[in-house]
Amino acid sequence: MVSCYKRQSLCLLKRHHHRSLLTRHLSTAETPLTSKIAIVGTGPSAFYTAHSLLRSQPNLQLTFFEKLPTPFGLSRYGVAPDHSEVKSCESILVELSQNRNVQIYTNVEIGKDISVKELKQNFHSIVFAYGTSEEVRLRVEGEEQGHSKGVILTSREFVDWYNGNPLWDSNKAVDLSTVKDVTIIGNGNVAMDIARLLLCPVEQLAGTDIMDRAVGGLRTSAVERVNIVARRGILQSAFATKELRELIQLEQHGVKFESVEGQDLGSIAGIVKKADRVIKRKVETIVNALRPLSERKLKYQVSEKFDKFWNLQYLKSPTAFQFNEKNQIQVEFTTNAIQLDSPMKVVPTETKQYHTTDLVITSLGYKSQPLPDFPVNNISFNDKTGTITTNGKYQILNSETNEPLEGLYATGWLTKESKGAILNQVGSGMALAEIIVSDLQKGQMLRRSDEHNSESLDLNKLTTWKDWVKLDTFEKQLGQDMGKLRVKLQDLQTMKQVQDADSELELDQLKKNITQRSN
């Protein structure tokens, strides 16, 4: 059965395909393009771009390079384990892997194993789509101390804990056995995912691809309340309505949405009426959830007893953290006020609020890191925002001249300060593909098609898609044995052992070893 999410994705791609056919029909360039394009990264922004490129020009030759032994990027390591319908986008890359004009190499780091210069010498265009690797920090008093104590975590640390990113720091193990009150700073979709996983019945997660350590940690969790705190107001809520509804619907399982704090819902009723459809739907969903049960039309049975609670808090910014002898955190908040001449902006006031909590998780967004040889290739990178600098049309700017660099492009969270859902990457991929094709048709590329390259890349020793398929099959078989969708391997050495195994006997022994460790 095709998921609703996948149907949306395919619908957008088909719409673009029809438009591309029309564009090609009207184009004066009759000769099909056979240019070579390198794509750094294998996440949604990368494979949606590739899909659109081949829809437009089927003879293009695409080569993916992935740093990790596993593909799919954000989909594999960012999407919540109970959101399998979102992960269905991975079928796009699987489909691409069957195309004879597509090569996918994993476990290869651009800037280290292969330089950007080498890519420029061997490809007509390069698309950087390698996503983010760091989290945004608050930079306030006590934050670093809280991290060292293990009572302040970033959303990346928490997500990597339950999603099994190989780059997860094992020193950041999560112990929820004495944690009753959790405060999440930020209210984007990642924050809502974390809140939902902390509050939902563990049985809903056990059969997914969540890490076993996370299932164990959630089973022993003492969490009773989750506070979701945002700097701005309700109208600027960063979460999607879908994520909001999923949290509200936990009332079926004894989890109560108890309040909205910091902003009076009645006072913004007039503004909400004039707001766009997305904002209006969010606010209406919140208002409806807080109504008496007798006034709500529900398709499910609400629990008669509640033992867990969550709330939304607005117009508060954490300004300091202090710690007591019980290792609890006293969070100092500055109250913000909405700017009268600009309802979308807030300004700090002199009012302070304090809240004692057991665990703080900051969810403020992610940042990318430049590749080591960006400077020598004049690739402009903004260290403050953690993004590649483009001209707004995906074309990377020269760090010296501020002009577009011919044949170099960037897309995804690498360019947008970690904003946008996976489905948004469909449109971005379409737009970027059209720009690349147009540039190639105009001869705007890294090297001319008739140039002879004496320094061609030797890709024969690299890990290929076939190696991933072997790993994928192993994970699914292991999951089947343990009653799960799959068991994600996190240890890089174990991944290599699976890929290097020459017989079923070796693979069976590896399965036994992993099962024993899990028990």
Among residues 418, 433, 435, which one has the least CA distance to residue 73? 418
Residue 381's H or E segment, with its range, is: strand 381-382
- Judge whether 259 is annotated as a binding position: no
**Beta strands 36-40 and 359-362: pairing type?**
unpaired
188 is in an annotated binding site: yes
DSSP characters over 328-359: -EEEEEEEEEEETTEEEEEEEEEEEEEEEESE
Q: Can you tell me the distance from the alpha carbon of 128 to that of 123, in angstroms, rounded to the nearest whole number? A: 13
Helix, strand and coil in the chain, % to nearest 5:
40, 20, 40
**111 assigned to a ligand binding site:** no
190 is in an annotated binding site: yes
- Residue 65 has a CB neighbour count (10 Å cut-off) of 25
212-226: burial string, b at 16+ Cβ within 10 Å, e else:
bbbbebbeebebbbb
Q: How many other C-beta atoms are found inside a 10 Å radius of the C-beta of residue 19?
A: 14
187 marked as part of a ligand binding site: yes
Q: Which alpha helices (H) appear in 127-263, and where do they start and end?
A: 143-149, 155-163, 189-199, 203-206, 212-219, 241-248
CA atoms within 13 A on the CB side of 285: 21
Residue 231 assigned to a binding site: yes
The rounded distance, in Å, linking the Cα atoms of 310 and 256 is 6
Task: Please count the other Cβ atoms lying within 10 Å of the Cβ belonging to residue 139.
Answer: 7
164 is in an annotated binding site: no
Residue 45 marked as a ligand binder? yes
What is the pairing mode between strands 61-65 and 102-106? Answer: parallel
In contact, 46 and 64? CB cutoff 8 Å: yes
Q: 358 with 329: CB under 8 angstroms?
A: yes
Q: Nearest-5° angle of CA 280, CA 285, CA 291? A: 125
What distance in Å separates the CA atoms of residue 281 and residue 273, rounded to the nearest whole number?
Answer: 10
Would the annotation count 420 as a binding residue? yes
Annotated binding site: 45, 66, 74, 110, 187-190, 231-232, 243, 413, 420-422
Sequence ranges of the binding site for FAD: 45, 66, 74, 110, 413, 420-422
Cite the annotated binding site for NADP(+) by residue number: 187-190, 231-232, 243, 420
